[in-house]
């Protein structure tokens, strides 16, 4: 046990204890009475002893009780605490997860973020006397809540101000801030003449459930990290994939795809309901088996959710010739409602448009036959490579995006790439991380991803290729077809762009004469163009930025948020504008002050397996390095003074009872 205010108690004791004793030394001031007998003389003699100021005190239960009462009060003034956990003085960075999964409701009815804040405040209470700490909150972005300080009240006020949002959990920026701030924090640096011997680095204390989507990409440098595991609830069902497409040959037919996944340990049954502008269209019952947590934590591309017992792909189809807002909602209530509902904008149908950029007549004829005859696409245009590069902007782009649903480029490298979908044969887009090199003579494809939508039902066993060129690709590129040592076909997805790169020449293969080629092109149209490119562009994750082209003459843009609050943005004189306050899931409607302009709808959805997997992670690793995990429920310095006050009240009641008992006698 230790005391927070020992000197206050000592001063009070020095003043009060002598006064109490003095009361028992004082002479009694007596009143004279005439009595008829000396029967009580012995009692009177005993009372006379009190008049002797320096006589030894006799045993007195009232004095004992009053002394105990006074000691209990003095102990309470000293503010005793029990030191259950004793930690050395140090500098720490408290990193608190405030992502969507921290909105999970625990069994006590409180959100997981409240448990994290409580654990963080208890940690602050338990810091050594002169220890300093700073607070960082993070989801998809990180924010410094409180700079380094030893003011416990300021730290706890900062923790109280942290609220969970709908963002995804990415710790990279938070770690950069923690290391940057702690590395520059040196004791005594406020002194202008101070020269540090070495740079100090604060330890990092992470408070969260440990479900971090970029954990495999991040690592700790020059610091130690401890994960305070928060939460216990594991039961959750969520929608982890969502897409909308119109049929190419029948634009009035809409297909809606979704993946529903169970992340809990028990089998569940729920209904998935499809709404169009709040009008119920269809209901599909969904039965899901229990989740395998180890399987759920693997990267999505390494497994097929449709084949998993705990996940199921569902499809809705209906006819609709206009636009609107689509919504899928699960009927089941669980600990994390945020992933039970998703939204998507639906635009009116329009005809598919394809642009072929090529100079060689055999290639042009092959592609025109494939698109026009085999796939029956009416709007197919051809430009030479020079014509494409020199074409007016309005000919290749509309409102800042490609004027075509799909652009196929033959044997040409280009950087004229307005946002859209591109297919390259024997050429590459001029973007960072992509290069095409020397010829590779291997003749046959060795492996390919049969389950990928681009290669589904495409038989490649008998396809021969005279040669292809070596590709250099960024890390996030998906390798679809590979030779023995090189990549032949890859898919790159960047914001606003999707590139399907084929390193072989159409004239150096028999692929174009095989029945697999029209199927490959059909898959390409379905996957890349999909009947409605704009719908996919306007479905974003929480925290992503909305980029909108400003109409000529517009001066104000009004954004209606999911909670129906409105935000106005000044856009006068701008060609494009952005809006970044998208931390909440739901529908965002954008309207300009030009009455001719229609409302543009954007939808924010979580659609993230890591965030929907709410079971706390007790085996958190960063870049393969295991992080020590401790329970978020920690013992701290427990104040004892309330017990001393309670003891004082007990002694007071006993003293009152004894005193009144003696009077009655």
**Rounded Cα distance, 288 and 312, in Å:** 7
With CA atoms as reference, report the closest residue to 543 among 158, 103, 241, 142: 142
Check residues 545 and 636 and name the one with the higher pLDDT.
545
The whole-number average pLDDT for the span 496-518 is 92
What are the domain boundaries of the chain? 2-80+642-664, 91-232+616-636, 237-349, 353-530, 538-604
Check residues 525 and 183 and name the one with the higher pLDDT.
525
**Rounded Cα distance, 542 and 608, in Å:** 10
The pLDDT of residue 189 is 45
Check residues 35 and 467 and name the one with the higher pLDDT.
467
The pLDDT of residue 422 is 96
pLDDT at 78 over 90: no
Fold of the 237-349 domain? Immunoglobulin-like (2.60.40)
The pLDDT of residue 341 is 96
pLDDT confidence of 3, banded at 50, 70, 90?
low
Query: Looking at the DSSP assignment, which residues form a beta bridge with residue 111?
Result: 105
Does residue 506 contact residue 363 with C-beta atoms inside 8 Å? yes
Least confident of 42-46, 194-198, 221-225, 254-258: 194-198
The pLDDT of residue 181 is 82
The pLDDT of residue 18 is 72
Render 9-74 in DSSP notation, one character per residue: HHHHHHHHHHHHHHHHHSPP-------S--TTHHHHHHHHGGG-TTSPPPP-HHHHHHHHHHHHHH
pLDDT at 342 over 90: yes
The whole-number average pLDDT for the span 262-282 is 95
pLDDT at 279 over 60: yes
The whole-number average pLDDT for the span 599-623 is 92
Query: Looking at the DSSP assignment, which residues form a beta bridge with residue 130?
Result: none
With CA atoms as reference, report the closest residue to 187 among 171, 175, 200: 200
pLDDT at 536 over 60: yes
**Rounded Cα distance, 24 and 31, in Å:** 19
The pLDDT of residue 193 is 46
What would the pLDDT profile of 375-428 be if each residue is shown by its tens digit? Answer: 888 899 999 999 999 999 989 998 778 999 899 999 999 999 999 899 999 999
Does residue 480 contact residue 458 with C-beta atoms inside 8 Å? no
Query: Tokens representing 447?
Result: 């492996």
The pLDDT of residue 289 is 93
What would the pLDDT profile of 643-656 be if each residue is shown by its tens digit? Answer: 666 776 776 677 66
pLDDT at 227 over 60: yes
pLDDT confidence of 307, banded at 50, 70, 90?
very low
The pLDDT of residue 195 is 41
Cα angle at 649 between 647 and 655, to 5 degrees? 105
With CA atoms as reference, report the closest residue to 160 among 137, 132, 130: 137
Check residues 187 and 332 and name the one with the higher pLDDT.
332
Does residue 387 contact residue 371 with C-beta atoms inside 8 Å? no
pLDDT at 67 over 90: no
Check residues 135 and 642 and name the one with the higher pLDDT.
135
Render 539-565 in DSSP notation, one character per residue: EE-TTPPEEEEPPTT--EEEEE-TTS-
To the nearest whole percent, how much of the chain has pLDDT over 70? 77
Query: Tokens representing 146?
Result: 């409180």
pLDDT at 49 over 70: no
Based on C-alpha coordinates, what's the Rg of the chain?
37
pTM over 0.85: no
The whole-number average pLDDT for the span 500-506 is 95
Establish how many alpha carbons lie within 13 A of residue 2's alpha carbon, considering only the half-sphere containing its beta carbon: 9
pLDDT at 29 over 70: no
What would the pLDDT profile of 567-583 be if each residue is shown by its tens digit? Answer: 999 998 888 899 999 99
The pLDDT of residue 636 is 47
Least confident of 38-52, 199-213, 241-255: 38-52
Q: According to the CATH classification, is domain 353-530 in 3.30.1540.20?
A: no
The pLDDT of residue 224 is 85
pLDDT confidence of 326, banded at 50, 70, 90?
very high
CB atoms near residue 524 (< 10 Å): 18
Do 91-232+616-636 and 353-530 show the same overall fold? Answer: yes
Check residues 7 and 568 and name the one with the higher pLDDT.
568
Task: Tell me the pLDDT of the chain averaged across its residues.
Answer: 83
The pLDDT of residue 304 is 42
pLDDT confidence of 196, banded at 50, 70, 90?
very low
CATH code: domain 538-604 is: 2.60.40
Helix (H), strand (E) at residue 395: helix 393-396
What would the pLDDT profile of 92-138 be if each residue is shown by its tens digit? Answer: 999 999 999 999 999 999 999 999 999 999 999 888 777 899 999 99
The pLDDT of residue 504 is 95
Cα angle at 51 between 47 and 54, to 5 degrees? 120
Helix (H, G, I), strand (E, B) or coil at 654: helix
**Rounded Cα distance, 128 and 123, in Å:** 10
Establish how many alpha carbons lie within 13 A of residue 320's alpha carbon, considering only the half-sphere containing its beta carbon: 22
Establish how many alpha carbons lie within 13 A of residue 76's alpha carbon, considering only the half-sphere containing its beta carbon: 14
Looking at 3.40.50.410, 1.10.260.40, 3.60.150.10, 3.30.420.40, the CATH number of the domain 91-232+616-636 comes to 3.40.50.410
The pLDDT of residue 190 is 47
The pLDDT of residue 496 is 78
């Amino acid at each position: 046990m230790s005391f927070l205010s020992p000197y206050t108690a000592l001063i009070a004791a020095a003043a009060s204890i002598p006064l109490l004793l003095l009361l028992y030394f004082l002479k009694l001031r007596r009143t004279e009475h005439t009595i008829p007998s000396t029967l009580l003389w012995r009692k009177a003699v005993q009372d006379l002893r009190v008049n002797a100021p320096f006589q030894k005190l006799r045993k007195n239960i009232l004095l004992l009780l009053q002394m105990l009462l006074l000691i209990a009060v003095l102990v309470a003034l000293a503010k005793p605490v029990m030191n259950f956990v004793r930690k050395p003085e140090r500098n720490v960075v408290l990193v608190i997860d405030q992502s969507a999964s921290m909105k999970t409701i625990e069994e006590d009815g409180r959100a997981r973020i409240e448990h994290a804040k409580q654990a963080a405040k208890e940690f602050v209470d338990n810091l050594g006397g002169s220890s300093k700490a700073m607070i960082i909150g993070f989801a998809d972005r990180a924010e410094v809540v409180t700079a380094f300080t030893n003011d416990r009240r300021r730290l706890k006020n900062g923790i109280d101000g942290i609220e969970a949002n709908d963002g995804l959990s990415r710790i990279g920026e938070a770690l950069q801030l923690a290391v940057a701030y702690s590395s520059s924090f040196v004791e005594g640096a406020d002194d202008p003449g101070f020269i540090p011997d070495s740079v100090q680095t604060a330890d990092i204390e992470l408070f969260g459930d440990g479900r971090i989507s970029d954990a495999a990409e991040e690592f700790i440098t020059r610091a130690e990290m401890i994960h305070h595991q928060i939460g216990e609830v594991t039961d959750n069902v969520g929608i982890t994939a969502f897409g909308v497409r119109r049929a190419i040959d029948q634009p009035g037919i809409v297909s809606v795809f979704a993946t529903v996944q169970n992340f809990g340990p028990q089998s569940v049954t729920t209904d998935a309901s499809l709404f169009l502008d709040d009008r119920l269209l269809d209901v599909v019952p969904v039965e899901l088996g229990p989740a395998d947590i180890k399987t759920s934590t693997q990267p999505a591309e390494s497994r097929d959710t449709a084949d998993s017992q705990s996940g199921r792909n569902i499809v809705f189809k209906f006819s609709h010739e206009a636009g609107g807002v689509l919504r899928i909602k699960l009927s089941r209530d669980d600990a994390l409602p945020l992933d039970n509902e998703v939204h998507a904008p639906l635009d009116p149908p329009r005809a598919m448009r394809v642009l072929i950029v090529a100079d060689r007549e055999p290639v042009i004829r092959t592609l025109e036959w494939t698109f026009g005859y085999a796939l029956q696409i009416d709007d197919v245009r051809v430009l030479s490579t020079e014509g494409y590069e020199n074409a007016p902007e309005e000919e290749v782009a509309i409102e800042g995006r490609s004027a075509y649903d799909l652009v196929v480029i033959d044997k040409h490298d280009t950087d004229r790439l307005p946002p859209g979908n591109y297919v390259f044969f024997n050429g590459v887009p001029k973007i960072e991380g992509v290069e095409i090199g020397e010829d590779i003579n291997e003749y046959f494809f060795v492996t390919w991803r049969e389950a990928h939508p681009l290669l589904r039902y495409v038989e490649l066993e008998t396809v021969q290729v005279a040669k292809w060129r070596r590709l250099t690709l960024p890390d996030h590129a998906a390798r679809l077809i590979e030779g023995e040592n090189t990549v032949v076909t890859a898919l790159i997805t960047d914001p606003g762009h999707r590139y399907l790169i084929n390193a072989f020449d159409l004239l150096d293969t028999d692929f174009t004469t095989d029945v697999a080629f029209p199927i490959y092109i059909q898959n390409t149209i379905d996957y890349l163009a999909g009947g409605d490119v704009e719908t996919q562009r306007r479905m974003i994750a929480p925290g992503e930025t909305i980029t909108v082209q400003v109409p000529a003459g517009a001066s104000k843009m009004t954004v209606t948020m999911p909670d129906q609050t409105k935000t106005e943005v000044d856009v006068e004189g701008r060609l494009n504008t952005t809006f970044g306050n998208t931390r909440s899931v739901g529908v965002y409607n954008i309207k300009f002050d030009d009455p001719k302009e229609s409302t543009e709808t954007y939808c924010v959805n979580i659609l993230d397996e890591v965030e929907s997997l709410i079971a706390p992670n007790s085996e958190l690793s960063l870049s393969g390095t295991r992080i020590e995990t401790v329970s978020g429920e920690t013992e701290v310095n427990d104040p004892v003074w309330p017990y001393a006050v309670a003891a004082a009240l007990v002694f007071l009641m006993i003293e009152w009872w004894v005193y009144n008992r003696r009077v009655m006698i």
